[in-house]
Chains A and B, each alone.
Chain A
Amino acid sequence: SAVISQKPSRDICQRGTSLTIQCQVDSQVTMMFWYRQQPGQSLTLIATANQGSEATYESGFVIDKFPISRPNLTFSTLTVSNMSPEDSSIYLCGGQGAYEQYFGPGTRLTVT
């Protein structure tokens, strides 16, 4: 099974700034994803992180706001740009293995 780590685990940021979240998988997964969980809500897929090419974004999410990189099979970053209080959420990295989906512990972001 894969273990996914994320950094930072939490942060408090001022509006208008940007935060980059790192995701590291300890073994290869076929696909990597970024999810958002807003307070009291279930998860929503932001994008699929593609190795060496532009991420594939879901409806309602754009590259200018959530730029994503995946330089190799086991590492990805998500940047939350020009933050507003509405971006306060838990951001989770996910990886698809052969038989299950793995999730990172999440990054709890508060924007003031």
Chain B
Amino acid sequence: KNEVEQSPQNLTAQEGEFITINCSYSVGISALHWLQQHPGGGIVSLFMLSSGKKKHGRLIATINIQEKHSSLHITASHPRDSAVYICAVRGGADGLTFGKGTHLIIQP
């Protein structure tokens, strides 16, 4: 079974700062997801990656398959980015295995 580790567990930053959240996993995967969960529980899919890099607005996600590692970056962070960010991996046709999440707070 895949072990998914995220760091940091908690992160507080000032508005405008560049944010990096890291995710590592133990077993080869078919895809990696970055998810965002706001207070109240709703989960939004930010990215699905199998290789390389994706960008959407101020969010950038990268993955290194050989090193079994992915990063989520937020540029020009804003208080509305405050949420829990979750890394999740898929092996084959299985459901997702989730990291514990990174609690991000952006202070004005």
Contacts and interface: CB of A to CB of B under 8 A. Distances in A.
A105 interface: yes
Given A101-B48, A101-B88, A106-B41, A45 B99 contact: no
Interface string B11-46: 000000000000000000000010100000111110
Given A101-B48, A103-B45, A35 B86 contact: no
A33 B98 CA distance: 13
Contacts of A48: 93-95
A43 B93 CA distance: 18
A108 interface: yes
Interface string A37-52: 1000111110110000
Interface residues of B, number: 20
Nearest to B45: A100
A9 to B, nearest CB: 10
Contact of B48 (A41, A44, A99): A99
Given A42-B101, A100-B48, A37 B41 contact: yes
Nearest to B100: A42
How many of chain A's residues touch chain B, expressed as a range?
Answer: 20 to 34
Given A43-B86, A45-B97, A90-B41, 8 more contacts: A31-B95, A42-B98, A42-B101, A43-B96, A45-B94, A92-B43, A100-B45, A106-B41
Interface of B: 1, 33, 35, 41-45, 48, 86, 88, 93-101
Interface of A: 31, 33, 35, 37, 41-45, 47-48, 58-59, 90, 92, 94, 99-103, 105-106, 108
